[in-house]
Structure 1
């Protein structure tokens, strides 16, 4: 096929395709709109039917209640006649407890009547709706029933049609028939509506061949009438014929236009094709002669400019590629060699700025309060009022506020331009911006933080405000040499945001692994490995500042009986609950550990023996007074009584090293066990050693604070030594 033929076919495809799609779209849209509006009308009509039937049932129930309130039988009959006379009901039927008729108003519809509150009739036409109430004497004995009824006749169906604005058909509920009892449909469409209604179930809507829409309503509790509602469609006749005619006319016009355009365009396009072929083979010096100033001429001129600029871009891209390779190499080395999140984010931000040509940028991570906090910034000096850009943390943006907050809240990147006065107050002042979110799946805290403080792992149920994934935003500002950031910059920034997500997740996983290595997986308390490190650190601190350190050694009494009686699962539940109660009874600075099995240790910094006994009494009471609920053998919950024995030792009163104070506390625990369990014992002070005289330098002086130092003699300056003899003065302690 020649070039002209191909262009003609292409123009026809371009023109006729949208025309055909548009015609199909218009036809289908109008049909959908017609069906939607008709469905909506039928829905409103169904609601109106239910409301009308419910209102009628409420009226009948009120009429029956009015008759039932009359205690005298003769007066009750007169009340029934008055209800009928006031048109509150068409008939009233009074029956005795055996179901025999005591009184019936004359002229009522034939029985049986369909009860408003009863199940729909199993078969047969519905002749009347009735509301029944029970008659009872003052003692509550059953005296029978009062039923108020209203006939379901053509007039009733006509009133429903008038209220709802649609055609209403009442069916005979006899099984397998669905015959028409009363209807407001015209004879010509009755059979089509009935056939469509038979196939419906629930609130479905069907369309008949003549363009009517049908919906079945009931029978159902509260609306026992089997009804079919229908409305005519609103599409004008001949619509599809008009659409076909419009498509044919558009096709003829498209053929003429395509032939003309192909003829005019062929010659310049041949020259353009030759130049394109040269460029495809790498010759960026190829040019197309510009023979006119029409679209083809402008295309030729644009092609010539494109080849010139392409040559410049190739050179620039080659240089940028080399720079980007260098940045990516540095980024890869950094990610692989360090867990320093600040350093990683700084390398990512610098690489992103260099790759996109931005003047400034920032990496913000979500903190526990739902605020995006700057973790690394570059080039933001003076871009925010009152901020010199030296501290990244001063950049704080609430989630949902401004551009950065919106990106974090929606998870969608944003780029664009700010007017000079339109920049949000919490964000840097700039002209153009681009911001991309990043999330590290599974991260509970964006900054990869561990516990809030040593010795207190997060309690069960703690949740980071960041939700189930770490969240942050990488934002750049003011691209150099361009009006705004483009799609290529967005793709590049997404890549670096992905690196940031990986970095955050790696740091989080690393810190989480460190935390798990120091905690007990069952109770969440610190483990024995961390106990050894903590007791050493706390003893050094107490020694340095002349303070006391109390150690509680705890052991659950007869814990083996719990496992043997209720199973190890119940035993684990008891241990978890005991750990929770321990955490609830100690201070923020105290540390709780699971030493192994049912043995636990609590460190109480700056606490003397009296404070430790208060804590021990409180722990014993909270365990003793509240049995632990566990699952029993038959699945029934049981409450297991638990008690705890506690040994107390104080540094430096009872021992001189961390291991010794642990051993002494353990010995006190054994003493508490031997004394009958469910109590505590304080360790015995060590045997006094014979006093020895220590020579004192004449120039020695007391420390500046006048307090002795625990575990070491008092000293006063370099080169001076000595110790004071006699008892130590009372140490500062915090009562518990």
Structure 2
């Protein structure tokens, strides 16, 4: 049998050797791969950034081409072409009519009029990028728009674009935050291409952009040409060299390994027989015999160790006595805590207090509260804050630990080595129901680390005694929240009621005024709703109101508020929305209501809405001013024939009426 010193030396040597080998593996294999992978990923991102920038410029050129097309019937076409380039530097604009260029501005490339008229950087095309051995020309990034007269008759093609030569490509790259030494290349339809590099590297990069292939000595990222993207993009940086850093790190680890060997030998010689002397006594203490004592020794290490062991057992007996007293005191504190919990309405604070008390009372490292919601239990809070969260946040009733306790209302314990999606630490777990009478509102789950002992019956009793008053408190909070929700909800439609709209609008007006942010209000009214009630009856009329509330909710954002103003009138409060955004929302609402009839049983009801729009501050600085202004816009829409929206009078923007 080997000595303790030999076994200790072997163990420490293995413990030291494994990290050293792992470090060498990381240096020799993982580190180089990680750096090259990082360079490859950076180039993929760079290629994506360039492609996105080109798409942005394509959109801007399209906008300029549309402006030129709108002026194609003017008497001064040259001025129209110059005007189209007012916001486009280094660009050209042409108007092609009957196969001829009738107006132009900027540096127009040497191309036939028919070729110019076919330029489009966003149109779907079957001409994918090809890879010439040498560049046969530079690509042109352009957009075309068909111009029509007042009778919708075609009168020409408006084209606005810019030449993508090496200088302009380098200028484009300069506007992007790309890694140093990045080289780019574009491969465009028709064999056209351009690169920021020179010489053979430029040709290799253009071929790589078109084919997606690699370039020797470089890490290359690609963005292939797709619909809406004119050219394929390749971005490359030189492959990083890691030889010098690998050698340095390897030498450093080797030195640390030599030092570690010396440390292992020293530790093995220092820790010897005193450990063996404690074995039998420690085993008896582990079995619960706290009366075990070692005979007093001399002044050597063994004697001092024996004295320390005896002192430890004395302290352990004292600590157990104190622990029993602390548990009794904790039970009393839990009772007082229950009285406090029944009076609070703060769910988050309540759950945090309950979980903290549960973890402390059961000596657990983690506690989670699962609340019953319909046919599921949902993890709502856990302690300590920032602890790892359960992968599964919602469980079907009857599933795993929390789901089973929620169904039968009985506490459960799990020992070591269990598999349960409710828990995170992987050690022992204990769950108790949160109940009010015979109604289970949730479950408390406490966990310990795998190295900790399993929960016993005392722990279970402690958790159940805490969960009793906690369940009443949680149920009180949930009832209070439901009462608050009902107080601001219209019972017929489920939308907010007038009180909810009033308080929400006042709060949003104050916020928008303080921070100088946009805010708009839409006031809606169902057209001829009285006829619906008279024709189909009030039951169908109520169903139409509920369907209108549902469609309004589907049209707005989460930050917007939909409320029933009264009768068949609804209000939409839209923070961070100016007049133009409110117009788009109103048009979307009108279309959503108009395009699909409301079906109630066998009745098919076609309805429309009229909408009035008011915005802060142009229509007022108080909530009442905005509602009155929106009401004026609503009546303007009614007078205009209904089934449309109008901005409140007094605003300079022209009124917009959607197609009926």
Q: Give TM-score scaled by structure 1 length.
A: 0.42
Q: For the pair shown, which has the larger CA radius of gyration, 1 or 2?
A: 1
